Chains A and B, each alone.
Chain A
Amino acid sequence: MKDLDFIKIENVKKYFPIGNDLFVKALDGIDLEINKGETVGLVGESGSGKSTLAYTLMGMYEPTDGKISFKNENIGLKAQKRDLSIKKEMQIVFQDPSGSLNPRRVISNILSRPLLLHKIVPKNELKAKLIELLDSVELPQEYLYKYTPSIGGGEKQLIAIARAIAAHPEFLILDEPTSSLDVSVQGKIINTLMKLKKELNLTYLFITHDMSLMRNVADRIAIMYLGKIMELATTREFFENPLHPYTKMLLSSIPVVSAEEEKLLPKEIKSSGEIPSPVNLPEGCRFITRCPYAKEICETKEPELTEREPGHWSRCYY
């Protein structure tokens, strides 16, 4: 049976003040539930607030408004104010592995911190556990005494993943874990992540702007645009029956290599325009500046996220 209230995000807002009573509305009312054991893909252009949502979930930012709960416990707080037991359950893998691993600390040090801090293993079993961790991301034990600047980008990301899973968390946020890596190692990272998810019964929030990757890894996909979720559906529904014009636009911009693939893409809408500034949002629907179907009502009143089909939500009047 599924634990329905694994992670619940209710109307979460995050505004960054930029002076003169102006705010960057990075998150402008996010509602999202993540069930235990699933992979939720979070897609959007740069500047849509994906990473801000991830950072707010992790406690790097305190939400301006709204509620975030983890197993019915309020976690809408800065990380410093959270319980150690909650920090143990949630971890994040950042986009750039060079920045997320301390270049002046040896890998055995980096990996042993979560183990010691959350008392996962007694000290005399530490070494064996470290080797086991490296093994789980398919790296040889020689890596224990290396510094991260001397290893490759893909290997660094594997170390970052090993650190994230070291304390046996339940929930892992993957913030574009492959986008800074060579194409040749992206597949290995994804396979390792999927293997670990199965083995450790993890729940993923997978942030990316790579739609074809989402198709392979995600159970459900949420589309973000200017701090709001525009469409939320199961992966199958999402690709076969996209409802929101923005989704269609993103899908039509997936690069294709063959005529058969071309046929699968929605035709009616082509990618155009730039994402507007999150400071001065358009009145009414926030997608109006780029939407070919915009009607009068779209200019005055913002549509709600409504369930159009079971499990398929869309923020559009049509």
Chain B
Amino acid sequence: MKSNKFTFWKENVGRSWYKFSRNKLSVIGLTLFILLILAAILAPLITPYPKHAGNFVDLITGSQAPDARHLMGTDIYGRDMFSRIIFALRPALLMGIMVLAIVVPIGTILGLIAGYYKGKFGDHIIMRLTDVFLGLPPLILALAVSSILKPTLTNSMIAVSVAFWPWYSRLVYNMVISIKNEHYVISSELLGESRVHILFREILPNCLSPIFTKMTLDFGWVIIMTASLSFVGLGEQPPDPSLGTMVAEGARLLPDKWWVAIYPAFTIVLLVLSLNLIGDGVRDMFTATEE
């Protein structure tokens, strides 16, 4: 038989990739992002001084400018900046993944429920709560939450999540209230489908493209916010490497020992830029084109 499930999937994946790859900048972004992920995973193998990622002090080699031995110089404790930056990619990427893994399901489910039962009690509760959280600037909210909690990676994850979930419930809510009046949703209701089926199989698939697009863009925002939290000392604690903390340490040494602040800051820029470029491509991928 010609049209079995395998060719069906192959066709669709191929078409999505074609749409994504038409935007060359997105391909560059994706390549960069994959390289950064690989660097983070293989950190102990590719860094010249893996030990420098932890508690290591060698004051003799402190504050050296970049040279052949230390590509990006060393910080005041004599630790190799390059090694520390590569290791710092790990918590940064982990934050992005974990925050999205917490925020997206919660925000989406709340948005689905509130949108489908628009005007009912549940809608008012969920959306007014969302409004309260949206009313506060996200960074201030995250700062407030993390200053109550102990400064650890897990707790800054929770703090950033608190700031991000309402954006998803608002996004999904607005989509659901228009999608639920589509005739295909009404058809399923008339057929006698369960609400769970209608919410997750009929409505949700039609909300996915903006969710995915927002996810790639938010990944970058989460990294920036995490860095901001650790910049003011509320994220991961030294000696564990963290991009925000490194920028904070280096900022005191500017402009003489510029490499201590500039390289980690530049890494943050690279990470966020690659994710934003991917976001553009993902948006194009999901935009329906006329056949």
- Chain B 8-28 residues near chain A, CB threshold 8 A: 8
Q: Is the CB of B193 within 8 A of A102?
A: no
The answer, among A59, A94, A117, for a CB contact under 8 Å with B183, is: A94
Inter-chain contacts of B188 with A (CB < 8 A): 113
Q: Is the C-beta of A105 less than 8 angstroms from some C-beta in chain B?
A: yes
Interface residues of B in 193-209 (CB under 8 A from A): 193, 201-202, 205-206, 208
Tell me if B288 counts as interface (CB < 8 A to partner A): yes
Among B191, B206, B208: residue with most chain A CB under 10 A: B191
CB within 8 Å of B: which A87-122 residues: 87-88, 90-92, 94, 96, 99-106, 113-114, 117-118
Which residues of B, 174-231, contact A by the 8 Å Cβ criterion?
182-193, 201-202, 205-206, 208
User: Are the C-beta atoms of A101 and B2 separated by less than 8 Å?
Assistant: no
> How far, in whole Å, are A94 and B201 apart by their CA atoms in the complex?
21
B192:A88 contact, CB within 8 angstroms? yes
Given contacts A102-B206, A142-B3, are A150 and B291 in contact (CB under 8 A)? yes
Is B5 in the interface zone, CB < 8 Å from A?
Answer: yes
Which residue of chain B has the shortest Cβ distance to A55 in the bound complex?
A: B186
Of A99, A105, A118, which contacts B201 at CB under 8 A? A105
Q: Does A144 touch B at the CB level, under 8 Å?
A: yes
Judge whether A84 is part of the interface by a CB distance below 8 angstroms. yes
**A16 → chain B closest CB, angstroms:** 15
Q: How far is the CA of A149 from the CA of B12 in the complex (A)?
A: 13
Distance (Å) between the CB of A267 and the closest chain B CB?
Answer: 41
A87/B184 in contact, CB under 8 A = no
The reply to whether A99 and B184 contact each other, CB–CB distance below 8 Å, is: yes
Q: Are A105 and B202 in contact (CB under 8 A)?
A: yes
B4 nearest in chain A by CB position: A145
CB neighbors of A among B105-157 (8 A): none
Contact at B5–A113, with CB atoms within 8 Å?
Answer: no
Contact present for A100 and B187 (CB under 8 Å):
yes
Residue of B nearest to A90 (CB): B190
Q: How far is the CB of A134 from chain B (nearest CB, A)?
A: 12
Q: Is the CB of B5 within 8 A of A117?
A: no
Q: Is A291 an interface residue (CB 8 A)?
A: no
Q: Which A residues are CB-close (under 8 A) to B205?
A: 102, 104-105
- The answer to whether A142 and B2 touch across the interface, beta carbons within 8 angstroms, is yes
Whether, in the assembled complex, A32 has its beta carbon less than 8 Å from a beta carbon of chain B, the answer is no
Distance, CA A224 to CA B147, complexed state (A) = 68
Query: Closest residue of chain A to B194, judged by CB?
Result: A117
Determine if A100 and B183 form an interchain contact, defined as CB atoms under 8 angstroms apart: yes
Task: Give the distance in Å from the alpha carbon of A94 to the alpha carbon of B188 in the complex.
Answer: 13
Complex Cα gap A90–B189 (Å): 12
Tell me if A80 is interfacial: C-beta within 8 Å of chain B.
yes
Measured in the bound complex, the distance between the Cα atoms of B193 and A118 in whole Å is: 10
* Nearest-CB residue, chain B, relative to A105: B205
Whether A149 touches B192, Cβ cut-off 8 Å, given contacts A94-B187, A99-B184, A105-B201, is no
Q: How far is the CA of A94 from the CA of B184 in the complex (A)?
A: 9
Q: How far is the CA of A114 from the CA of B181 in the complex (A)?
A: 20
A92→B202 CA distance, assembly (Å): 18
8 Å CB contacts to A: which residues of B39-75?
A: none
Q: In the bound complex, what is the Cα–Cα distance between A59 and B190 (angstroms)?
A: 7
Please name all residues of chain B whose beta carbon is closer than 8 Å to the beta carbon of A142 when the two chains form the complex.
Answer: 2-3
Is A60 in the interface zone, CB < 8 Å from B?
yes
In the complex, which residue of chain B has the Cβ closest to the Cβ of A164? B187
**Closest chain A CB from B179 CB (angstroms):** 10
Determine the chain B residues whose CB is within 8 A of the CB of A94 once the complex forms.
Answer: 183, 187
Q: Mark B218-255, 1 if CB is under 8 A from A, else 0.
A: 00000000000000000000000000000000000000
Complex Cα–Cα for A99 and B2 (A): 29
Whether the Cβ atoms of A145 and B3 lie closer than 8 Å is yes
Once A102-B202, A150-B291 are accepted as A-B contacts, the answer to whether A145 and B190 lie under 8 Å apart by CB is no
Evaluate whether A117 and B3 lie within 8 angstroms (CB atoms) in the complex, with A94-B187, A105-B202 already known: no
Cβ-defined contact, A96 with B191, below 8 A: no
Q: Which residue of B lies closest to A60 (CB)?
A: B186
Let me know if A42 is at the binding interface, CB within 8 A: no
Interface contact B190-A91, CB-CB below 8 Å: yes
Q: Shortest Cβ distance from A145 into chain B, in angstroms?
A: 4
Which chain B residue lies CB-closest to A83?
Answer: B192
Cβ–Cβ contact B191 & A117, under 8 A: yes
Knowing that A104-B205, A113-B193 are A-B contacts, what are 12 other residue pairs whose CB atoms are under 8 Å apart, sorted by A's residue number?
A60-B186, A91-B190, A92-B190, A99-B182, A100-B184, A102-B185, A103-B288, A104-B208, A105-B202, A118-B192, A145-B8, A149-B288
| Residue contacts A-B, CB under 8 angstroms, 18 given | A58-B190, A79-B190, A84-B192, A87-B191, A92-B190, A99-B182, A100-B184, A102-B205, A102-B206, A103-B206, A104-B205, A104-B208, A105-B201, A105-B202, A141-B3, A144-B3, A145-B4, A150-B291
The 7 closest A-B pairs by CB, nearest first: A104-B205, A100-B183, A87-B192, A145-B8, A102-B184, A99-B183, A142-B3
Instruction: Spell out B's residues near A (CB within 8 Å).
Output: 2-5, 8, 182-193, 201-202, 205-206, 208, 288, 291
